[in-house]
Structure 1
Amino acid sequence: MSTSSLLLERLSALIQQAVRDDAARHGLLPIQLQVLHYLVQANRYSDLPIAIAEYFGITRGTVSQTLAVLERRGLLVKQTDPRHGKRIHLQLTDNARQILEHSWVQRLDSALHSLPAAEHTEAGLRELLSALQRLNGQQAFGICQHCVHFCPDSHGHHCGLTSEPLESEQSQLICREWQAPAQSRET
């Protein structure tokens, strides 16, 4: 095993511990907290129960149980998509956003940005993530504006896959329909 593999394994263990600690502090299970973190960064193509299952590699039943708890706790609400009748979008409540304000993600982000050459670190992590997703046959998920389908137009932006307009804030969130541009493998 290489030193890099050992370092990544240790980083993973530390992150998992931070997630467990934060979740316990709020009376949540780790997956419940992780779903909240996912939803805060998911665009309208990705704030769906099926996208959560794909993102975390868990069953629809686990997602359903997780969402039921979060809804009962007042941390998310379900909204029917006006364009696609049976599709349910998941929206975080203010209570959920408060939980996320001082979480492990902010601490990790702070540590990453304190590194010299943080941009190179991020690029390397993106490449590693893409490689692992390909090896494991998992859906990529990535930032909308870095997708092959992202199209600037005279009115702002639209998705080349769905032909729907994209609000500026939506284009900065993760999308389950994301595909790497031909010249890049960014995730």
Structure 2
Amino acid sequence: MSQTSLLLERLGALIQQSVRDAAARHGLLPIHIQVLHYLMRANRYSDLPIAIAEYFGITRGTVSQTLAVLERKGLLTKEPDAHHGKRVHLTLTPAGESVLSDSWAEHVEQALCERPVDAATLESTLRNLLSAMQRVNGQRAFGICRQCAHFLTEESGARCGLTHEPLATEQTVRICREWSAATAWCA
């Protein structure tokens, strides 16, 4: 096993421990923290129960139970989609955002800021590794909207080339389940 594999395994274990600790502090399970963190970063195409199932590779039943707990604890709300019948969008409440105020992601960002690295190279390497692992595991890619092959910039603003819908700026920096690899990465 290469040193890189060992480092990634150790980082993964430390992140999982941080998620477990955060969950325990709030009387939640790790999947609850993971779903809250995902929803904090998801765009309007991805803040759906089915997207959560796809992202984490879990069953719809597990998602349903998870969402019921989070809604009952006042950490998220369900909002009907005005254009798509039974579809609901999930939104964090201020209490849900508060649970994430001292998350593992913040700890990773802080560690990266303390040790200057070539962020672009690291991000590119990790993105390529992630894409390869998703292919091996047969999982949907997911990715940042503005780095997608469907992302279009026009005079009037951003637009999704797949759905032909305009995109608000805040949506373009979030995770999208319709993401597809672009030939060249946009910054």
Q: Is the partner of 1:169 in helix, strand or coil?
A: helix
CA distance in 2, matches of 1:139, 1:114: 33
Q: Which residue of 2 aligns with 1:83?
A: 83
Q: Which residue of 1 aligns with 2:176?
A: 175
Single out whichever of 103-112 and 138-147 deviates more from structure 2.
Answer: 103-112
Aligned pair 1:3/2:16, yes or no? no
Residue correspondences, number:
185
Unaligned runs of 5+ in 2: none
CA distance in 2, matches of 1:118, 1:183: 17
Backbone CA RMSD of aligned residues: 1.2
Q: Which residue of 2 aligns with 1:20?
A: 20
Structure 1 residue 114, shift from structure 2 partner: 3.1
Q: Is the partner of 2:46 in helix, strand or coil?
A: coil
User: For 1:126-185, what per-residue CA distance to the aligned partner results, in whole angstroms no more than 9, with x for missing partners?
Assistant: 11111111111110000000000001112111100001110000011000000011245x
Percent identity over paired residues: 64
TM-score w.r.t. structure 1 length?
A: 0.95
Q: Which residue of 2 aligns with 1:55?
A: 55
* Cα 1:123–1:46 shift into 2, 3 Å: same
Q: Which residue of 1 aligns with 2:93?
A: 93
TM-score w.r.t. structure 2 length?
A: 0.95
Unaligned runs of 5+ in 1: none
Correspondence list, 1:156-175, <5 A: 156-175=157-176
Structure 1 residue 122, shift from structure 2 partner: 1.5
Q: Which residue of 1 aligns with 2:72?
A: 72
Structure 1 residue 42, shift from structure 2 partner: 0.1
